[in-house]
Structures are given as C-alpha cells and as structure tokens.
Amino acid sequence: MKAEYINPFLESARIVIEQVANIRPSTGQLGIKDVKFVEKYIWIQIGMTGQMQGDVVFGLHEDVALKMVSAMMGGFTITEMDDMSKSAISELGNMISGNASTMLFNQGVKVDITPPKLLHSANSAGFLPKKALTIPLIMDGIGELDIQVLMM
C-alpha cells in the first residue's frame, strides 16, 4: 500500500467540498487503521479497477452527513437522510473519486471507478474489517469526513 495513492483523493476532496459546500477543509493525520463499519455512520464505497485495484471508502457520521447535504443545498436545513439526501452524499463521493481518477490518469495511472455504493449501517454493509490508508478531512462547523483507501 503506497501513501501516494491517497493524495489524489485528498486533493480532489478539498476541491470538490470547497466547490459544492463553500467550505475549505483542513487535513488531519495520515495513518493506517482497520476500517470497521459502525452504526450511525454513512459510508460511500467506490470501487477502483485498472492499474489500481481496490476501494475508496468515505465515512462520515450521520450528523456530519446531514450538515454536509445542507451545505450542498445552499444552507437549507436537512434533518433526515431521505432518498434525496442519500443521493446527494453519494454524488459527493462520486465527484471526489471521478476527479481523483482524472488526477491519477494525468500521472500515468489508468483507473476506472464504479458507481457509489451507499452503506448506512454496519450490519447491512457485509464488509469485513480491512487495513486502509486513512486521513480525515476536518470541515469547520460540519465535522470530519474520513477518506480510506484500500488498494491491493
């Protein structure tokens, strides 16, 4: 697992979040940890194929997801993760990953991404704990978005 795999996702997330939510996130500490799906979290899983194989998983607490969707909707307060909210947060993961795959292509790494898969509970995820490169993005007034890269 190489640390440079996470850099395009980190840079892309900064750009996309600033564009769609008008928030400039700061970066937390890069580390390696076990990815475990827990309750009260929203998980956006994007598969990677091509020269990089694996998954990118974006994790955020339900409260953070609601605040992020509210910011994406121009400040309109969102109070539940309904179909529209789930679609918006899935699209956030899709935009970040699509932009990152373009950055990787420009670096000579050819990758394709799968459509986002929204996982809303640990039980329904069916995901076994795995080691991942992880880095949190801290968004003032909203919370943290964890970027977790699981590449083979």
Quick one: tokens of 31?
């580390």
> Mean pLDDT for the chain?
87
Least confident of 3-12, 15-24, 41-50: 3-12
* Predicted local confidence at residue 101, as pLDDT: 95
* Predicted local confidence at residue 74, as pLDDT: 87
* Dihedral (CA of 26, 29, 32, 37) sign: negative
* Dihedral (CA of 32, 33, 37, 39) sign: negative
* Predicted local confidence at residue 116, as pLDDT: 94
User: Does this model's pTM top 0.75?
Assistant: yes
Compute the half-sphere exposure of residue 10: CA atoms within 13 Å on the CB side of its CA: 18
Asked if pLDDT for residue 120 goes beyond 80, the answer is no
Q: What is the CATH number of domain 3-151?
A: 3.40.1550.10
* Predicted local confidence at residue 132, as pLDDT: 82
Residue ranges per structural domain of the chain: 3-151
